[in-house]
Amino acid sequence: MEIFWVLFIPLLGGLLLAVFGTHRNAPELNSLMSFATLIASAVLTTRVISDGSFTAWNEQFFVDAFNVFLVALTAFVGFTTSLFSRPYMRIEQHHGKLSINMLRLYYSMYQLFTFTMLLALLTNNMGILWVAMEAATLTTVLLVSLYRTPASLEAAWKYFILCGVGIAQALFGTILLYFAAEKILGAGGTALLWTHLNEVKGQLEPTVLSLAFVFLLVGYGTKVGLAPLHNWLPDAHAEGPTPVSAVLSGLLLNVALYAVVRSKVLVDGALGTHFAGNLMMGFGQLSVVMAAFFLSRQKDVKRMFAYSSIEHMGLMTFAFGMGGAVATFAGLLHMTVHCLTKSAIFFAVGHAAQQSGTQLMDGIRGLIKTSPSVGWGLALGTLAILGMPPFGVFTSEFMILTTAMHAYPWTMPFLLIALGVAFASIFGQMQRMVFGETTGKRLPHPPALIPVFVHLALVLMLGLYIPPYLADWYRQAAALIG
Amino acid sequence: MPIPFSAQVINMCAALLLLIAFAMLSQRRVLSLINLFALQGLILAVSTTVVAYSSNQHHLYYSAALTLLLKAIVLPVILYKLIHKLDIRWDVETMFNIPTIMLVGLLLVVFSFNLAAPISQMAGTITKSTLGIAMATVLLSFLMMITRSKAVPQVIGFLAMENGLFFAATSATYGMPMVVEMGIALDVLIGMFILGIFFFQIRTAFDSLDLAHMEKLKED
């Protein structure tokens, strides 16, 4: 029943906002629906904490420690982003960039996008997982091209085609998975259910599964933004409206990585080797290195942070690839803190770009003078994402790097150099944007910065102290993933 | 042992699909491409029906009906309407090196037959020999998407790729579970609508559907 509400509320929200999206209070309705989703997912979470994992509706849905934590995170960031988008979209409308009908499209698609992500997380069926991932692309394509500028249309086209082709590979992987499963579980509805597959994973045909995993990794990896399939990501992040960049970076990438990790569990069980892990480590490391070097050459602030997302997703993929209790724990923690920090940065960057009238970093100066809260938000967020000590990103990166140092010492030079390059370039750019002579104007509506500081406070807390139930939760999830 | 009649029909359908994939690769007219796409959907529906009949898999009749409706009727009609409204019915794309593209296509077919060989041996379906063709169709559609610079042919390549994947699903496993197939069909349909909107937006912004105009977002 809890699952029903978690999925039904955003779906209903999408339909309601498609009808009432032009109303004056549509932003409030949007936030209200996101808040209701958050409540529903909180109820679901408490049930999983007290009762443990369970399935529902003929086993079509499935909740365990791993996905419920992502459901809670998705609902939370979905809610804070809806709070941020309220003044942000009003300012965009004030600047004449968006018409009222575009706003209706935005609100409606925002809710439907949340729905597809939650569906992808909660479904037990690997086929429906694919359908939901594809639907998540479809709902965001028109959001990326919301401004209808040539650059945004190009970005959306690239996003659609690259992710479409990528996800088609994942479909082929799913077909191969079904092919292997059908031999053991028999034809019909149950052969794609993850819980059933997980029980018989030792008997699945290893050659077919290894081929299936290659396709699944390439397919869902395109959506994670793994190099060399990351081309769509910086464009889509830079050209879409900022709330969309925040949810793409903070949530969609996590959900895609979730799909990869779920597949990895099955393949590991079938193969009994580290084949899947090695592939993920390779792709992850390539992404970290490549993103760091591209990042240093960016002029657009949102593009720069988009590359930083590629870097962090690469690091998480690397951590899950290494496997083992510590690395997986760190990977999960990194998923949480990166999601919170990156969305906070995008919120601050969005308002900074509105003040300066440009996304180019050369045009953004002296934020701390025009609007101290935006300036501090960006400065602290940047320090957090770069892995400076008291913040949670430091904890997770430290755990990932120390594990890698023991298990795979040869990866160290690549990872450390990449992190160093990323640090130097982002830190330098941040300093110039935050301090210096100001060029900005005041905003017509007061910016919404509560979400920024709530996110950063949470990240700070996770760096200093992980509550015991949360740590327990990560450990349980890590044990499931292995 | 002689091959049963139904298997022969399925093999012929598979051969036709491969032929169509090559025809699409070299077809320069947008209108003819849509015709080829509709034909591909029709053959897919026929072969699925034959598989359903010969293997007694009743759910495959539904997916054959779904294929016929969606891929042989609805999507081509939407595409016809689109190119009519966009006034690009008689568009001819300038493509260079068709012979080279065809040769690359041949190599892809050889590659996919090799890749599919170990899997087909494990498959117990009547259609197992066609898995290689299904993979070749997917790869050829992919090649078509890469070599085209206009929006509509790229999308047709994308849809043809989906057809190839569907064929792979029927030839390796007698089709995916019905829920999944319905979901995929829904996604394809919604995707088509969104693309329709998208074409008009691109045309308004660029005055053309030639994607060569889109060269702004590049890393320098």
pLDDT of residue B197: 87
A128 in Cβ contact with A119 (< 8 Å): yes
Contacts of A138 in chain B (CB under 8 A): 187, 190-191, 194
Residue B13 to residue B130: CA distance in whole angstroms: 9
Token pair 């690769």 is at which residue?
A: B25
On whether the CB atoms of residues A400 and A319 are closer than 8 A, the answer is: yes
**What is the model's pLDDT at position B46?**
93
Which has more confidence, B109 or B125? B109
Any CB–CB contact under 8 A between B192 and chain A?
A: no
Q: What is the pLDDT of residues B191-218, one digit of tens each?
A: 888 888 888 888 888 887 777 777 666 6
Nearest alpha carbon to residue A366 among A345, A383, A350, A352: A352
Indicate yes or no: CB of B165 within 8 angstroms of CB of A168. yes
Name A184's bridge partners: none
What gap in Å lies between CA A124 and CA A63, rounded to an integer?
A: 8
Residues 134-163 on A with a CB inside 8 Å of B are: 134-135, 138, 141-142, 145, 148-151, 153-158, 160-161
Q: Which of A178-182, B25-29, B116-120, B162-166 is least confident?
A: B116-120
ipTM of this complex prediction, to 2 decimal places: 0.91
3-state SS assignment for residue A410: helix
- DSSP state letter for A123: B
Task: Name the percent of chain B lying above pLDDT 70.
Answer: 94
Query: Nearest CA to CA, how far is B191 from chain A (Å)?
Result: 6
Where chain A has pLDDT below 70, the residues are: 188-189, 439-440
Omega before residue A228 within 30° of 0, cis: yes
pLDDT given for residue B172 in this prediction:
78
Q: Which of A57, A105, A133, A154 to mutate to probe the B interface, most B CBs <10 Å? A: A154
Helix (H, G, I), strand (E, B) or coil at A268: helix
The two tokens of residue A152 are 């945004």
pLDDT at A423: 94
* pLDDT (0 to 100) of residue B219: 63
Alpha helical stretches, state H, chain B: 5-26, 30-55, 58-67, 75-85, 98-122, 131-147, 151-173, 178-206
The candidate with the shortest Cα–Cα distance to A109, out of A83, A78, A130, A80, is A78
Please tell me the predicted confidence (pLDDT) of residue A268: 92
Name residue, tokens 């004449």: A96
Higher per-residue pLDDT: A431 or B176: A431
Q: SS3 for A362-425, per residue?
A: HHCCCHHHHCHHHHHHHHHHHHHHCCCCCCHHHHHHHHHHHHHHHHCHHHHHHHHHHHHHHHHH
Task: Note the pLDDT of residue A411.
Answer: 93
- Collapsed DSSP state (helix, strand, coil) of residue A349: helix
Q: Do B198 and A125 touch (CB under 8 A)?
A: no
CA atoms A294, A85, A134, A203: torsion sign: positive
Q: Measured between CB atoms, does A192 come within 8 Å of chain B?
A: yes
**Which two structure tokens, joined as six digits, stand for A361?**
């970093």
Give yes or no for a contact between A258 and A266, defined as CB atoms under 8 angstroms apart. no
- CA separation for the pair A352, A374 (Å, rounded): 7
What are A357's two structure tokens?
A: 């009238």
Give residue B4's pLDDT: 81
Alpha-carbon distances of A175 from A171, A208, A453, B166, B211, rounded to whole Å: 6, 10, 44, 9, 32
The pair of structure tokens assigned to A155 is 């970005």
For A301-354, strand residue ranges (E) read none
**Any CB–CB contact under 8 A between A188 and chain B?**
yes
The predicted-structure confidence for B108-123, as pLDDT tens digits, reads as follows: 999 999 888 888 787 7
- A323 by DSSP, 3-state: which? coil
* pLDDT over threshold 70, residue B1: no
B201 in A contact zone (CB under 8 Å): yes
The answer to whether B184 and A128 have CB atoms below 8 angstroms apart is no
Query: How much is the pLDDT for B220?
Result: 54
Q: Which of residues 289-308 of A touch B (CB under 8 A)?
A: 294, 297
- Partner B, chain A 197-236, Cβ-Cβ below 8 Å: 205, 207-208, 211, 235
What global pTM score does this model have?
0.94
